Amino acid sequence: MRFATLSATLLLAACATTTLAEHEAAPAAPSTDMSGEWIVDLSTDPAEPYTKPMILTLAPDGAVAGSFYESAIEAGRWKTDRGRTCVSFRTTDGVGPYHTAACLVGERVQGQTWAEHRNFLFNWNATRE
């Protein structure tokens, strides 16, 4: 009986052990943290780059704070679900609201901003600063 228990313990230990090379070769889990400083590409013509900053702070309670297009985020929420992390928030230009939704895709953010009072919807991408 002792031999069977010892054999089973050794077998489990051998199965659970990985070599350093196997550990280093394993792909890293994708980041789900959107917090930080981003450069938003709002260019409509590749020959004329147009970028603005986005700063996101994702709180444990699901709140989003920071700024987008140099305007403070007035209200925002974030969530990781279905394999991706996304944010939604509202900013203003002093005339009307801008509603933004964006998701982390790999190491980039893909988003869109809607300004009903300006009659536009703009798709954009962002990279970490």
Cα–Cα distances in Å, from 16 out to 4, 11, 23?
18, 9, 12
* pLDDT by 10s per residue, the chain, length 129: 554 444 444 344 444 444 444 445 544 444 678 999 999 999 999 899 999 999 999 999 999 999 999 999 999 999 999 999 999 999 999 999 999 999 999 999 999 999 999 999 999 999 999
Whether residue 39 contacts residue 125, with contact meaning beta carbons closer than 8 Å, is answered with no
Tell me the CATH number at 58. Answer: 2.40.128.120
On whether residue 13 sits in a domain, the answer given is no
Evaluate whether residue 71 is within a structural domain: yes
Domain that holds residue 62: 36-128
Does residue 19 sit within a domain? no
The whole-model pTM stands at: 0.74
User: pLDDT digit string (tens) for 83-107?
Assistant: 999 999 999 999 999 999 999 999 9
